[in-house]
Structure 1
């Protein structure tokens, strides 16, 4: 949307019988852009091809070098089948199948049908004339549904996902999709009759796309920005417990992240950490040489399974952060009064991997969630303050707010 700064009487006039004035999404001289909805990414224009014997399957709107066809929500699976040796073909079918398989070893397992849609592309039974031959090319179009039903409830169709844990845990959570082509051939000669079925299965990647509600910028002075625009930041308070709270009181850890709590693949999350408490407690977190406590900030993904009661989960750290202290250093508080309140500050950045296979999702018995994980480890093993971890739930989406460059 644009605002025109010239007087209202100079605006162009038009009537129902005349065409409206031309408008542009780009502001002209004297105009200002105040709001704009980012454009969705354009669909690829290449094709994915698979050849098996005399059957060739072509899927459109794919990257030319894609190893697996990718489909977002509501994207139709468009393509065509080219056939050789059509004389004996009696039927051609296309089917899209989605399955979710869950396993808690020694406890329970489930298989859920996410989608099963089929299309008869050609059949000799419905062809006009007994001598009709199957066409050489058969186009088709199938669409993945936006939801699936499980135990009387509806859930968004989950993305392609594969968690297969090795070792004693053996936890398994798999959501997979495929396009299946079936070509049936048959022939009758005298009293003899034979039939042969050829099947082609093409794995599909379902990747529902989404954006954060607004841009995230890491190009700021977090320490001052927290004071100027506190509403832009979400604050989480957690307490680092003490083994001897009478002499060494607990320390509070404040974690600040952008208030949206929604971040895209490849995006950088700026954060600020502040440890506050009595000086004697902050000293206890450090060692005798003034070495600061060990702070870690990671991106944690948790996959949890709840199969008719029994529950199991798997946690994986999928990204590490860059972290640096903000002056004054811990040495500046060593001579302060023990009970005086003080603080230690850190600033950092956590980058969401671009290689994630899927964003978080909830699909019935399977829940995949993402967290920012704060770990505080005292520098001295003899510290009265304890090893401590805290989790902050966030949401990961596929696309950044920023638009892709215009290729035109």
Structure 2
């Protein structure tokens, strides 16, 4: 039987490259812009002093200072107002972490130190220094301190004046230095320097979105895995009446635990106990109760010479509104004195990005953590049989909100 060979196969041509820009002959049929997409055009930021001009390219027009993300490269151009007698031109990217405790001293930690020589007469074979020099220098992503490699922190500044006073700051600076030729008999060469502050803001975003529905119960029914239930108890004093019971507190927050600085974080609160205990809170419907609060706090820890010090500050407080009880709920009437009753609220909390420009981080010497706090305080804390109650749940605040793009941003973690 003769051998039958399979037909020859030819490799198919590769698929065309995708581009969000229209190619020749194409037209847009429908376009829906993303709500979280930035509409700010990139611009050049110019800084000038008596002897030079610096141009920072591809900058966000909404920022006051040149701003860069994780692993970003500074691109720009330096213009010299006079290039006579210039021997060399260099740029240096410096970053320094300063931490202090009033009764324990202070410490300065170098974070970044990168130098690039843009022009040198020794390498120019006698040519004159150009009047315009492009520059490019890249932010490192990590630094080493205390035997450990850590990501470099964002630009930030924190200070707490209560004793012992503490302060922490991370500052990034670009320094341009011009070296001039002096007399042949001189042992030193005159130089001039110009420094300006840069903002380093590494981008991070949540791994999935926060789903918002009309009502909490609808959301809990359809996507229960998106909610985290936190149970705690508001206790009573030992001398309290036997008719009083501890108040059971159920606090619901999105289970993702990571939120962008422009995200609106929904929450739901349910308190249940005896009617006598609930009445002690003096809840007036439908106005939001003054005794129940939800807020976000930031805890800052600094360490100097093995001394650790913690400080906390409230970032933002949430807003609440009463939720009508379901039809089959036990009403708040005298006939139900022996049964538990329920009261519910829902609300949102949001941290403004312009007030809190960076999220939490840990570089050993400085640790910044964020918490969402649920607190119930009776109207008269000293005399009320109910004890004040507070529960803090750790969350992570990040620079960006979730986006529906299928690929990762190159500056994301």
2:296 counterpart of 1:299: yes
State the shift of 1:23 in Å: 6.6
* 2-structure distance, mates of 1:293, 1:53: 58
User: What per-residue deviation string (whole Å, max 9, x for no partner) do you get for residues 39-83 of structure 1?
Assistant: 996995311111111211111111346421000001101112111
Residues 2-401 of structure 1 mapped to structure 2, 5 A cutoff:
16-20=11-15, 45-64=42-61, 66-129=63-126, 132-166=127-161, 168-188=163-183, 191=185, 195-244=189-238, 247=242, 248-286=244-282, 294-328=291-325, 332-355=331-354, 356-381=356-381, 382-401=383-402
Task: State whether residues 269 and 349 of structure 1, in contact with CA within 8 Å, keep that contact through their aligned partners in structure 2.
Answer: yes
Consecutive unaligned residues of structure 2, counting only runs of 5 or more, are 1-8, 22-33, 406-413
User: What per-residue deviation string (whole Å, max 9, x for no partner) do you get for residues 137-173 of structure 1?
Assistant: 2212111111111101111111111002335442101
Equivalent in the alignment of 1:5: none
Q: When the two structures are aligned, how many residues end up with a matched partner?
A: 378
Task: State whether residues 248 and 273 of structure 2, in contact with CA within 8 Å, keep that contact through their aligned partners in structure 1.
Answer: yes
State the shift of 1:224 in Å: 3.3
Task: State whether residues 104 and 305 of structure 2, in contact with CA within 8 Å, keep that contact through their aligned partners in structure 1.
Answer: no
- Structure with more strand by fraction: 1
State the shift of 1:255 in Å: 0.8
State the shift of 1:109 in Å: 2.2
User: What per-residue deviation string (whole Å, max 9, x for no partner) do you get for residues 115-134 of structure 1?
Assistant: 111111122223213xx211
* 1-structure distance, mates of 2:341, 2:300: 39
Q: Secondary structure at the match of 2:84?
A: helix
Consecutive unaligned residues of structure 1, counting only runs of 5 or more, are 1-13, 27-36
State the shift of 1:254 in Å: 1.2
Q: Secondary structure at the match of 1:224?
A: helix
State the shift of 1:232 in Å: 1.2
User: What per-residue deviation string (whole Å, max 9, x for no partner) do you get for residues 339-383 of structure 1?
Assistant: 422322111111121212211111111111111111211135542
Structure 1 pair 39/16, CA: closer, same or farther in 2 (3 Å)?
Answer: farther
Structure 1 pair 278/295, CA: closer, same or farther in 2 (3 Å)?
Answer: same
State the shift of 1:102 in Å: 0.8
Equivalent in the alignment of 2:29: none
Task: State whether residues 285 and 322 of structure 2, in contact with CA within 8 Å, keep that contact through their aligned partners in structure 1.
Answer: no
* 1-structure distance, mates of 2:283, 2:324: 18
* 1-structure distance, mates of 2:363, 2:255: 26
Task: State whether residues 95 and 181 of structure 1, in contact with CA within 8 Å, keep that contact through their aligned partners in structure 2.
Answer: yes
Task: State whether residues 91 and 124 of structure 1, in contact with CA within 8 Å, keep that contact through their aligned partners in structure 2.
Answer: yes
* 1-structure distance, mates of 2:16, 2:90: 51
* 2-structure distance, mates of 1:23, 1:92: 42
Task: State whether residues 233 and 256 of structure 1, in contact with CA within 8 Å, keep that contact through their aligned partners in structure 2.
Answer: yes
What RMSD over aligned residues (CA atoms) do the two structures have, in Å? 3.2
Task: State whether residues 39 and 403 of structure 1, in contact with CA within 8 Å, keep that contact through their aligned partners in structure 2.
Answer: no
